[in-house]
Amino acid sequence: MLAAMEPLTHMLTGACLSRAMGFPKRARYSTLACVIAAELPDADYVYRLGGPVTYFEHHRGWTHALWSLPLQAAFVVLLMFGWRYARRAWKSRRRRGRQEAPWRPWLLGCMALVALLSHLLLDWTNNYGVRPFAPFNPRWYAGDLVFIVEPVLLLVLSLALVLPLVFSLADSEMGVRRSRFRGQGLAAAALAVMVGLWLWRYDLHGSAVHVGDEQQLAGGCGDAGVAGSVPGKPIPMAQCG
Ligand SMILES: [Zn+2]
């Protein structure tokens, strides 16, 4: 059973967030930090070692709770400290003279927090939901707007990151020198498409619930009409609950 938004969507979102907010030129390793932070809450996968019952007990538990996000952001900054130390030890001479952003750990922490919040938001948009107040409040919240794997989002986010690379290659072949920090507009556009898709699905979701209610009134369903995101279907479907 797929119970987690697949990791690629989370990581691509983290990378696009970093680009869209202009982080790569403000703090070194910001995109790496955002990519890691955007997927870090799903580290609860390690609970699988304890068996399926333990995993489902803790899945989208404390790692997806709001109170733990600053701790996870601090962990990401620590990882970046380690990464910086390793790079300085092994590669510093070769990289000298290259255009690099300043080292700003506090800003990296803020970026990681934004990326961590994006993880919760993305998980909320599918039908499994999140427990943002676990373990103090066990209630699940689910937007049920998109299925766990959404090809449209994968395509748009990937293009926003790949196209600047392609343009850079074309520029270098023509001898045109441009800044390393490109793609901000495309990343912002991809995130805007993502939000637009959610809003569109939210609207369709309301219509599907309405159809379900009408079916219930007409005696077509036993209990209540429900609507949800269905694998392989582009829009929410009215179903008999
Ligand atoms: Zn998750």
pLDDT (tens digit per residue) in 4-39: 558 999 999 999 999 998 888 889 999 999 999 999
Q: How confident is the model at residue 1 (pLDDT cuts 50, 70, 90)?
A: very low
Ligand 1 centroid, distance to 5 Cα (angstroms): 6
* 3 state SS of 237: strand
Q: What angle do CA 221, 227, 232 make, to 5 degrees?
A: 115
- The H or E element that residue 238 is part of is strand 237-240
How far is ligand 1, taken at its centre, from the CA of residue 135, in Å?
16
Look at residue 2 and tell me whether its pLDDT is greater than 80: no
Domain boundaries, the chain: 7-198
Using the mean position of ligand 1's atoms as its centre, give its distance from the Cα of residue 128 in Å.
10
- CA dist 231 and 68 (Å) reads 31
> What mean pLDDT is predicted for residues 34-62?
90
8 CA distance to ligand 1 centroid (A)? Answer: 12
Distance 171 CA to ligand 1 centre (A): 38
Among candidate residues 84, 90, 122, 152, the one with its CA nearest the CA of residue 4:
122
218 band by pLDDT with thresholds 50, 70 and 90: confident
Angstrom distances, CA of residue 135 to CA of 65, 74, 203, 237: 8, 21, 32, 32
CA distance linking residue 216 with residue 210, whole number of Å: 10
| Cα dihedral: 219, 222, 224, 228 (round 10) | -100
Residue 88's pLDDT band (cuts 50, 70, 90)? confident
What is d(CA 132, CA 138) in angstroms, rounded to the nearest whole number? 9
CA distances, 178 to each of 31, 136, 174 (Å): 19, 51, 11
In this prediction, residue 203 carries a pLDDT of 86
Phi, psi (rounded to 5 degrees) for 106: -65, -35
Judge residue 50's burial from the number of C-beta atoms within 10 Å of its C-beta, 0-12 exposed, 13-18 middle, 19 or more buried.
exposed
For residue 67, the CA-to-ligand 1 centroid distance in Å is: 15
C-alpha of residue 44 to centroid of ligand 1, in Å: 8
Q: Which residues contact 98 (CB under 8 A, 6 or more apart)?
A: none
The whole-number pLDDT of residue 81 equals: 94
- Neighbour tally for 170: CB within 10 Å: 10
Look at residues 135, 112, 139 and name the one whose alpha carbon lies nearest to residue 33.
112
Examine the pLDDT at 223 and tell me if it is beyond 50.
Answer: no
User: At a CB cut-off of 8 Å and minimum separation 6, what does 106 contact?
Assistant: none
Judge contact between 27 and 108, C-beta under 8 A: yes
- In three-state secondary structure terms, 141 is strand
Centroid of ligand 1 to alpha carbon of 2 (angstroms): 11
Q: What is the pLDDT of residue 53?
A: 86
Q: What's the gap in Å between 33 CA and the centre of ligand 1?
A: 17
pTM for this entry: 0.80
The overall average pLDDT reported for the chain is 83
Average pLDDT over every residue of 197-216: 79
| pLDDT bucket at 161, cuts 50 / 70 / 90 | very high
pLDDT of residue 51: 87
